[in-house]
Amino acid sequence: MKNIKTIPSADGYHMPAEYACHKGCILIWPQRPGSWKKNPEAAEKAFCAVMQAIAESEAVYLACGKAALPRAKAFADEYNRQFQREISEKKHFPVVVFEAETDDAWARDIGPTFVVKDDTVRGISWTFNAWGGEEDGLYAPWQKDDVFAAAFAKREGYVCYDASPFVLEGGSIHSDGEGTVMVTESCLLSRGRNPQLSKAEIEEKLQQFLEAEKVLWLPRGIYNDETNEHVDNVCAFIRPGEVVLAWTDREDDPQYPLSLACLRYLESQTDARGRRIKVHKLPIPDVPVCVTKEDLEGYAFEDGEDTREEGERLAASYVNFYFSNGAVVMPAFGGENIKSDQRAAEIMEKLCPERKVITVDARDILTGGGNIHCITQQIPFGKAEQGE
């Protein structure tokens, strides 16, 4: 299938909500030593737990570089064998492995953003520059990541819109599927993305590519989020007109003023359909999750790669969850935050009674720089177009 330079909204396509029905989910096997450590077994275990939770209700498309391909295939083969009967009865879904070289494993940010029209699905390939390029990018080079979206679309037969040179990551946008898109000013207006464009011009791009009738510009995200504070770590739609917002009641916590600014903004807004935004608070872990000496000893950073420090606070948030067809797959951090984990799961159970809440020990994803939503990218239900 070809890449095209037309405008999705002009062609009648829009970005659906994540809680709409999926065909499947894209993940990438963790390999980069500066994210997943010299021995990536702990990260692999966490990724596999996420994939098993997702595959209960939708297919998993797992990309992997050649060096780790045997490990990825071994996991997939064992999973597919174990659930062979359930997969044949569509009570579970398969894990499909394919070879693809990437610079890291952030499928949300480097995978296609999918848009839909009736029952037809197309992809969008944005320009990816490692969250800031030469200004404040987190690693270099990033060219393998930059071409992944178009390559995946071609592999699966999707027409793909070429949005270059506009820089955007999947984690920086959130849609309600009805014309409202959420972003953060701290990310989309950062100097490393599209400094040549004004806020109004960036909003116009979102309207053109996502059919965003209204853009909600949250002022900030999660404290110390190295993506310039992606929206997917601080706020998410759970249904039209309703969001969960990362929150803390502790006024001495550096997250407090950031979340408070978001709350005040959201409570003053309506969505594209004129509904007042209903905000549900989803507290962050009670105890900050920080880089330990053991963590630090495990990393192997390359030249030009952002490094970490012992005691550095990580951007831990329960909002960084994934809506699968049947579940909310959400992070847990364990240790001193067991009660926080339980509280977050109970809140989501009440807010999403139609879905099973599955918690995954995700600290070893967080130490890589993101969490469950960051390593996943949903493929909406629908068909790829036939033809070229």
The pLDDT assigned to 3 comes to: 83
- Give CB contacts under 8 A, 24+ apart, made by 252-261: 253/223, 254/223, 254/224, 255/222, 255/223, 255/284, 258/219, 258/220, 258/221, 258/222, 258/223, 258/229, 258/234, 259/234, 261/219, 261/220
Whether residue 387 lies inside any domain: the answer is no
Whether residue 250 lies inside any domain: the answer is yes
Whether residue 272 lies inside any domain: the answer is yes
Low-confidence ranges of the chain (pLDDT < 70): 1-2, 386-388
Whether residue 325 lies inside any domain: the answer is yes
Q: How many CB atoms lie within 10 A of CB 83?
A: 19
Provide the CATH number for the domain around residue 187.
3.75.10.10
In 3D space, the residue among 214, 215, 203, 217 whose CA is nearest the CA of residue 273 turns out to be 214
The pLDDT assigned to 387 comes to: 47
The pLDDT assigned to 5 comes to: 87
The pLDDT assigned to 4 comes to: 87
- Contact yes or no for 111/380 (Cβ under 8 A): no
Round the average pLDDT of the chain to a whole number and report it. Answer: 97
- Contact yes or no for 369/233 (Cβ under 8 A): no
The pLDDT assigned to 388 comes to: 47
The pLDDT assigned to 181 comes to: 98
Q: Count helices and strands (H / E) in the chain.
A: 14, 17
Structural domains counted in the chain: 1
The pLDDT assigned to 241 comes to: 97
Whether residue 44 lies inside any domain: the answer is yes
Whether residue 385 lies inside any domain: the answer is no
Ramachandran angles phi, psi of 108, nearest 5°: -60, -45
Whether residue 155 lies inside any domain: the answer is yes
Domain that holds residue 330: 3-380
- Please state, in angstroms and rounded to a whole number, the distance separating the CA atoms of residues 211 and 276: 20
Whether residue 388 lies inside any domain: the answer is no
- Please state, in angstroms and rounded to a whole number, the distance separating the CA atoms of residues 320 and 316: 8
Is 262 tagged catalytic?
no
The pLDDT assigned to 1 comes to: 59
